Amino acid sequence: MKIYKYPSKSAEKRVASLTNRGLDVKKKDVAYVTRILEDVRKNGDRALIQYARRFDSPRLTIAALKVTSGEIDAAAKSVERSFKRALNRAAGQIEAYHRQQLGNSWINTQRPGTLLGQIVTPVDTAGVYVPGGRGGKTPLVSSVLMGVIPAKIAGVRHVAMVTPPTKDGSVNPHLLAAARKAGVDAVYKVGSAWAIAALAYGTEMIPKVDVIVGPGNIYVTLAKKIVAGTVGIDMIAGPSEILVIADSAANPAFIAADLLSQAEHDTMASAILVTDSRAVAEAVADAVKEQLENLTRKETAAKSLQRFGAILVVPNLEAAFELSNRIAPEHLELHVKEPFAYIGRISNAGAVFMGEYTPEPVGDYVAGPNHVLPTAGTARFSSALSVDNFVKKTSLIHYSRKAFEREAKDIIRLAEIEGLEAHANSVKIRLR
């Protein structure tokens, strides 16, 4: 990893390239995904099965698109005990955290003659997308838990899960065991953009939903972006990213391992160290080089670090936090002596990991907070996936006659200023 002194022209150029990274979207990809969405909207299950056979499972049938209860039962029995133990811990802690997010309906009657309030209600149906993970070889169990559990806590009546089938037409048993644990109501063997289309528009087999959540590749992301407005979505997620702030007492080996934990995701991932210690910067660069040699995903991680990695040496930690807020990372790790003392300096980050024994994978799997987080600088204005993504907030308004008459003239005046005569008249007619 290259070391930059910040501020400097070279460092500023590097930071600009990182903050402007965004999604690598091409016009041909948008056109391709749009055609898929239209195909599924017009042709339903027939289109789904054609895409599934072409890209995932050559012999899959329409009747087999929905996972049966027998398949789920068999999967739950087949997974190993150690997995069940880890699954139970993760699910329990994710549920406990998200229960704290439940909002309440409320009513206020402080102004004489008025009742104002808000009703919080869940959406009726939700769809959770779970990536296939190298043809089912690396099942993304955590994506099941992070998408489904908040929906069930919110009170969503029906939660559907979609995931690409393996070549033989099955779904990895670990995914199905996780789906049962999380409380999924139905699982369908469809992936990529056609799965998003099925959830957004509905097919003969798959009912349309109100909200779609979950991570995916560029085609899934583009599909979600296009159908947003037809359905609710969680966010437009880009490649993974991590920013580590470290002082002179930080452990270089820990930092290197954490940077690589994100760089291995894909070649677009970003891994950044910001430190006020030149010695730590050099030690981390050496540790990254050493640890990289032992990774199975070495080539991916190396390319990621070359394209979107950096070590920035700043004059002090104050400058480090200013730079971090500017970049607004998905994951922010604090490898400093007193991490709690700096919480007030953080304004833009998806999730903050405090202390050297709180690496990012803790949040990915078992800590409790959601790991579906804003990327590409969107932490400046958006938040992690939560119970809020599955509820609606409806306003309540009631005026007595006396309260109405007290405020009528002001309503009329504002309506007249806006040139809305009928608005004003709906008030005036009640004053006659």
Q: Where are the beta strands (DSSP E) in 345-390?
A: 351-354
Collapsed DSSP state (helix, strand, coil) of residue 109: coil
d(CA 193, CA 186): 19
The percent of the chain in helix, strand and coil, each rounded to the nearest 5, is: 50, 15, 35
Would you call 12 a catalytic residue per the annotation?
no
Q: What are the structure tokens assigned to 80, written together?
A: 């190993």
Sheet holding 241-246, edge to edge: 3-5, 309-313, 270-275, 241-246, 331-335, 351-354
- Phi then psi for residue 199, to 5 deg, are -70, -35
Q: What are the structure tokens assigned to 88, written together?
A: 């139970």
Angle ∠(230,25,51) on CA atoms, nearest 5: 65
User: Active-site residue among 241, 264, 330, 356?
Assistant: 330
User: Active-site residue among 98, 265, 331, 371?
Assistant: 331
Q: What are the structure tokens assigned to 314, written together?
A: 């700043």
- Listing DSSP states for 56-89 in one string gives T-TT--GGGSBPPHHHHHHHHHHS-HHHHHHHHH
- Phi then psi for residue 408, to 5 deg, are -60, -45
Would you call 290 a catalytic residue per the annotation?
no
**Which active-site residues does the annotation give?**
330-331
